[in-house]
Amino acid sequence: MNPRKSDGGHDPIAVEGGTETRVSRRSFLGYVGAGAAAATVGSGLIGCGGTIHAEEPLSEAETRRRAARQVRDDAAQLAYDRPMPVIADNGEEHDYPYVANFCKGLPHNALGEVEPAAYQALLKALETHAPADFETIPLAGTRKLVNPQGGIAFDLEGPDCHHLAIRPAPRIDGPENASEAAELYWMALVRDVNFTDYDTDGDVAAAAAELSHFSDFRGPKEDGAVTPGTLFRGSTPGDLVGPVVSQFMLKDVPYITFTISQQQKTYMPDVNYMTDYAGWFSSQQGAPPSTAPAYDTTPRYIRNGRDLAAFVHNDVLYEQYLNAFLILTKMGAAVGPGNPYLHSMTQAGFGTFGPPHVFTLIGEVSLRAIKAVWAQKWVVHRRNRPEEFGGRVHNHLTGAASYAMINHEILSSQAVTEIFSRYGTYLLPQAYPEGCPLHPSYGAGHATVAGACTTILKAWFNEDFVIPNPVVPNADGTALVPYAGADAGAMTLGGELNKLAANVSNARNFAGIHWRTDYSESIKLGEAVAMGILEEQRATYNESASFTFTKFDGTKVTI
């Protein structure tokens, strides 16, 4: 039998007398000390470093060294033993070459279709992994591709980024993609409508009605229909409870000896970008934006889709979850039931199961989440960005090109017609002057980090803790007022963290740079990263502890 094979219990394994015996890490350390003479040559007792000889009793330092190696070996074996997922793209790259995949920044023809030789150079580099090949990828402008080698890197903790998968992205010829595109066009149309006005706004009502009639729209619904109350919301437990915006994006953040207001520098209303073909084409060629964002001079709390888009434009991806941790600490939120210090009479957590532990974990999982999603983006899916798809829709509907593969539901939609009536093109209006970044759409970096970090927070705290004194912005976003909805008492820590993940993810959709499935699949990818790290770290603790939380699919797990 393999003395290093893990069964998921994470305890080191010793082999005694030819029989596999599982011992705790504490017991492993106890092989040496007062009972060191019990370890003899004849017993065949094996630690990580080999046979222990009675005439050479191990020092405490050597014992610790061998135990540390055993913990590392067991974690590696645990990672190795995880089932390999099926990793597959959606076949578009083969079926519709140079039309349906991400190619921004590479040379294009006049229709915004990538030059085949340039795309093949990208594919070659992704296949060979040779750093020199990445340097030969042709660029049309000055903007550079964002880290295509990031998804090739290995990691030493948690699942390897190639040991994870998300489902194939919706195809350009399918009704799910068409419905997601319609949702994005409607998001652009109602960017400046306050969430508190959704029940009375005519465009919001039209968006809900049209999305209800798409044959494969998978956003949240009530009684089988999209409503103003479900429109543009997330699809996890708690997303439909309370205001649209999570309390963790509104409440003040306690920081060291001062307090940070979450009033932010947002954009001016009714200013959108890439609604003209020349500007759109220049962006596809990798040109820098010709203008800076038009900022509002008044700081405001998040009221609408444009404010959400501003929030996620220049952030470091895990900042929102550090804020959430600080807010929860100020609230006095209870830790989860598996925290070993919850009922201790003599001890409090610090480096383990205390504030520095969780604070560091949030940053730790975020980098690993980025590597995991970068592998999906560049190595597997290479899904086009919504702005690229908008160019295909525009050229098809104006007769400049024929893309018969585009699903008819989006081509005949009210959303696309309304965009044309306002802007004179069928392009998807962007909230940022530069449009999307230069990496593929699926999955989403913000969403994967959101999934990983909120999983850590849900695992750490008691999910059932009810958020006290919920708030919502006033009409102009200059102040917070009490939220008086009938469901205020049902706004739990777990639900508001799920909502935070959805807000951050869908904020990128409001900007016009990501799709709904970029959110819905990527948060689950981040969740898998966080769960893997929690599993592997469990063996490093001296305490007897566990983490219990609800996954994004509604199932409860304990690690």
Angle at 477 between CA 518 and CA 362, to 5 degrees: 45
Are the CB atoms for 470 and 243 separated by under 8 Å?
Answer: yes
Q: What is the DSSP letter of 473?
A: E
Q: Is 343 a catalytic residue?
A: no
Are the CB atoms for 447 and 518 separated by under 8 Å?
Answer: yes
- Whose structure tokens read 């739990």? 492
**Those residues with Cβ within 8 angstroms of residue 125's Cβ, 6 or more apart along the chain or in another chain:** 133, 134, 136, 137, 148
Q: Is 525 helix (H, G, I), strand (E, B) or coil?
A: helix
**Those residues with Cβ within 8 angstroms of residue 262's Cβ, 6 or more apart along the chain or in another chain:** 249, 250, 251, 252, 253, 301, 302, 323
Q: Is 254 helix (H, G, I), strand (E, B) or coil?
A: strand
Say how far apart CA 57 and CA 492 lie, in whole Å: 55
Radius of gyration of the chain (CA): 26
Say how far apart CA 391 and CA 108 lie, in whole Å: 12
Say how far apart CA 225 and CA 209 lie, in whole Å: 8
Say how far apart CA 322 and CA 492 lie, in whole Å: 18
CA dihedral 493, 495, 498, 503 (to 10 degrees): -100
Preceding peptide of 435 cis, ω within 30°: no
In this structure, is the dihedral angle defined by the CA atoms of residues 320, 321, 326 and 330, taken in order, positive or negative?
A: positive
352 burial type by CB count under 10 A (0-12 exposed, 13-18 middle, 19+ buried): middle
Say how far apart CA 407 and CA 405 lie, in whole Å: 6
Q: Which residues pair with 482 in a beta bridge?
A: 471
List the one residue out of 146, 149, 216 whose CA is nearest residue 180.
Answer: 216
Say how far apart CA 225 and CA 538 lie, in whole Å: 43
List the one residue out of 105, 135, 146, 161 whose CA is nearest residue 380.
Answer: 161
Q: Is 15 helix (H, G, I), strand (E, B) or coil?
A: strand
Say how far apart CA 170 and CA 319 lie, in whole Å: 30
Q: Which residues pair with 22 in a beta bridge?
A: 13
Say how far apart CA 307 and CA 383 lie, in whole Å: 26
- The tokens describing 521, both together, are 């699949």
Catalytic residue among 108, 163, 396, 439: 439
Q: Which amino acid makes up residue 143?
A: R
Q: Which helix (H) or strand (E) holds 529?
A: helix 516-537
- The tokens describing 136, both together, are 């030969």
- Alpha-helical regions (H) of 260-385: 277-284, 305-311, 319-331, 355-374
- Residues with catalytic annotation? 439, 446
